[in-house]
C-alpha cells in the first residue's frame, strides 16, 4: 500500500485568492453579507453549506488553513483555534459533560495537566492519570462513564511514545474517543491514520515554526467539526477561541515548508543526541537505539522526516541545568526559553517551566528529574559548529 504522504497532500491543494492570487486572500471581516434573508436563516440553522456567517463561526482564511491541516492529517475536516490550549479545552469540553470521566497520560504538557487535574473539577469531571505506555493500566482505568483517552504522540517532556493503534483498539472496544496531541511530531506521525479519533495541535510550535503567534488546531471527522461549530451547542462557537484571519494566513504559508523544516530539525536532533550520548550524558531521544520504544517509533514514523526535533538530557539537579542553560545562551547556542519548533534552538528546565503545573510528587512519580533539560533543536546549517559550542559549555560548567 502506498505510504500516506502529508507533504504531497498539502502540495496538491489548489487554494488561490479571489483575484487569482497565488496566496489565498485574507478576509479581514468579522461578519458577512447575505443576498437573501432566507439564506441567513438557513445558515444559522446549519442547513446552508458554503456560506460564511460570522468570523467566530467560520471565515475563509481559517477555512483555507483548516482544509490544509485536514489534508496533512488525513482527516475529513479541521478547525483552527487561537491557541493550542484552545484546541485542547474545546475538544474536551465538547466530549465531556458533568459527571463524566477521562483517562489521560500522566506525562503531558503542564497546561494540559492543570486543565485536566484542576479546572475540570468545577464540572465534576474526574480524570485518572496513567502511564500511557502500560496498556493494561490504561484499560483498567476506564469506567462506565469514561468518555475519552487523552495522550500525546510523543509525550512532553519525557518523549514516551504512545502506541496509538493499540490504544485505538482499547477505546474502540469501550466505545470512547481517542484524542491525541501531535504537536511534537507533525508529518512524522499521522495519528488519525493509526486510529486516533481527534488530533490536536499547538500550531505555535513546529507547524508555524516562527514563534511569532499563538494558534491551535483540531483535526477530526466532519461530524465532530460540525458539532464544535454548532451555534447552539458547539464549544468552539460558544467559547469563542477563534484564530485571527491574518495569523491564520501566515501559518498557512508556513505550512508549505513544514516538510523541509521537520527533516532538518530531525537531522540536527539526531546529531546532537548521539553527541550527548557519546559524552556520557543520559539522553532521551527516540532516534537512539537505546530508547525503549525506538523500534516502535520506526514502525510508526514517516521515514522522510526523521525522529523529531525534541531531545531531553538529564543533569540530575536543577542547579546544574540552570548553569548549563545560562552558559549555552551566552555562547549563542540558542535561547533559554519555553516553547519549541523555532528555527533557533530553545532549551528549558521542564520541571521548573513547562511542567511546573505538575506537583513535584507527581513529577517524581512519572520519572521527571529536576535536572531534565528539554531541547527543541533548531535549523542550524552547521550542527557540528553548534555541538562545539555546547561541548565547551558542558566543560566550562563541569557537567563533563
User: Which residue from 194, 215, 196, 195 is spatially nearest to 204, judged by alpha carbons?
Assistant: 215
The cell numbers describing 140, all together, are: 483498567
pTM of the model: 0.95
Alpha helices in 256-344 (DSSP H): 258-278, 294-300, 318-330
CB atoms within 10 A of CB 280: 10
Domain residue spans in the chain?
6-255, 259-396
Structural class in CATH, domain 259-396: alpha beta
Q: For each of the chain's 400 residues, which pLDDT tens digit applies? A: 468 999 999 999 988 887 888 988 888 899 999 989 998 888 887 766 778 888 888 899 999 999 999 999 999 999 999 999 999 999 999 999 999 999 999 999 999 999 999 999 999 999 999 999 999 999 999 999 999 999 999 999 999 999 999 999 999 999 999 999 999 999 999 999 999 999 999 999 999 999 999 999 999 999 999 999 998 999 999 999 999 999 999 999 999 999 999 999 999 999 999 999 999 999 999 999 999 999 999 999 999 999 999 999 999 999 999 999 999 999 999 999 999 999 999 999 987 777 778 888 888 888 888 999 999 999 999 999 999 999 999 999 999 9
The DSSP annotation for 204-254 comes to: TTTTT-SSS---EEEEE-HHHHHHHT-TTT-HHHHH--BPPHHHHHHHHHH
Per-residue pLDDT reduced to its tens digit, 236-264: 999 999 999 999 999 999 999 999 999 99
Per-residue pLDDT reduced to its tens digit, 342-387: 999 999 998 777 777 888 888 888 888 899 999 999 999 999 999 9
Query: Do the strands 310-314 and 372-376 form a parallel or antiparallel pair, or are they unpaired?
Result: antiparallel
What dotted CATH number matches 6-255?
3.40.640.10
Specify whether the backbone of 21 is left (phi greater than 0), alpha (psi in -120 to 50) or beta.
beta
**Grid coordinates 459527571 are at which residue?**
99
**6-255 and 259-396 share one fold:** no
Under 8 Å between Cβ of 175 and 205: no
Amino acid at each position: 500500500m502506498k505510504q500516506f504522504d502529508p507533504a504531497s497532500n498539502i502540495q496538491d491543494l489548489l487554494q488561490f485568492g479571489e483575484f487569482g492570487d497565488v496566496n489565498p486572500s485574507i478576509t479581514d471581516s468579522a461578519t458577512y453579507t447575505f443576498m437573501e434573508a432566507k439564506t441567513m436563516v438557513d445558515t444559522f440553522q446549519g442547513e446552508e453549506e458554503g456560506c460564511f456567517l460570522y468570523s467566530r463561526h467560520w471565515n475563509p482564511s481559517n477555512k483555507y488553513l483548516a482544509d490544509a491541516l485536514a489534508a496533512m492529517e488525513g482527516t475529513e475536516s479541521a478547525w483552527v483555534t487561537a491557541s493550542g490550549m484552545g484546541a485542547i479545552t474545546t475538544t474536551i469540553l465538547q466530549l465531556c459533560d458533568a459527571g463524566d470521566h477521562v483517562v489521560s497520560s500522566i506525562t503531558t504538557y503542564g497546561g494540559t495537566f492543570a486543565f485536566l487535574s484542576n479546572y475540570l473539577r468545577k464540572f465534576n469531571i474526574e480524570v485518572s492519570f496513567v502511564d500511557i505506555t502500560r496498556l493494561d493500566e490504561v484499560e483498567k482505568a476506564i469506567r462506565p462513564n469514561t468518555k475519552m483517552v487523552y495522550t500525546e504522540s510523543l509525550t512532553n517532556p519525557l518523549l514516551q511514545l504512545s502506541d496509538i493503534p493499540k490504544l485505538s483498539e482499547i477505546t474502540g472496544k469501550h466505545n470512547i474517543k481517542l484524542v491525541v496531541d501531535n504537536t511534537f511530531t507533525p508529518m512524522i506521525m499521522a495519528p488519525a491514520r493509526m486510529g486516533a479519533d481527534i488530533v490536536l495541535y499547538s500550531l505555535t510550535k513546529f507547524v508555524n515554526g516562527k514563534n511569532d503567534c499563538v494558534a491551535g488546531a483540531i483535526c477530526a471527522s466532519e461530524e465532530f467539526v460540525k458539532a464544535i461549530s454548532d451555534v447552539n451547542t458547539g464549544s468552539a462557537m460558544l467559547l469563542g477561541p477563534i484564530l485571527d484571519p491574518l495569523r491564520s494566513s501566515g501559518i498557512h504559508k508556513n505550512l508549505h515548508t513544514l516538510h523541509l523544516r521537520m527533516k532538518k530539525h530531525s537531522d540536527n536532533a539526531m546529531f546532537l543526541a548521539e553527541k550527548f550520548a557519546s559524552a556520557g550524558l543520559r539522553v532521551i531521544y527516540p532516534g537512539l537505539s537505546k530508547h525503549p520504544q525506538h523500534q516502535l517509533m520506526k514502525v510508526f514514523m514517516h521515514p522522510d522526516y526523521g525522529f523529531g526535533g525534541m531531545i531531553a538530557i538529564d543533569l540530575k539537579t536543577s542547579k546544574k541545568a540552570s548553569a548549563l542553560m545560562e552558559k549555552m545562551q551566552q555562547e549563542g547556542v540558542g535561547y533559554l526559553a519555553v516553547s519549541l519548533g523555532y528555527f533557533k534552538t530553545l532549551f528549558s528546565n521542564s520541571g521548573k517551566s513547562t511542567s511546573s503545573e505538575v506537583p513535584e510528587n507527581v513529577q517524581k512519580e512519572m520519572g521527571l528529574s529536576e535536572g531534565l533539560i528539554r531541547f527543541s533543536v533548531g535549523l542550524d546549517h552547521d550542527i557540528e559548529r553548534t555541538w562545539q559550542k555546547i561541548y565547551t559549555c558542558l566543560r566550562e560548567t563541569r557537567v563533563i
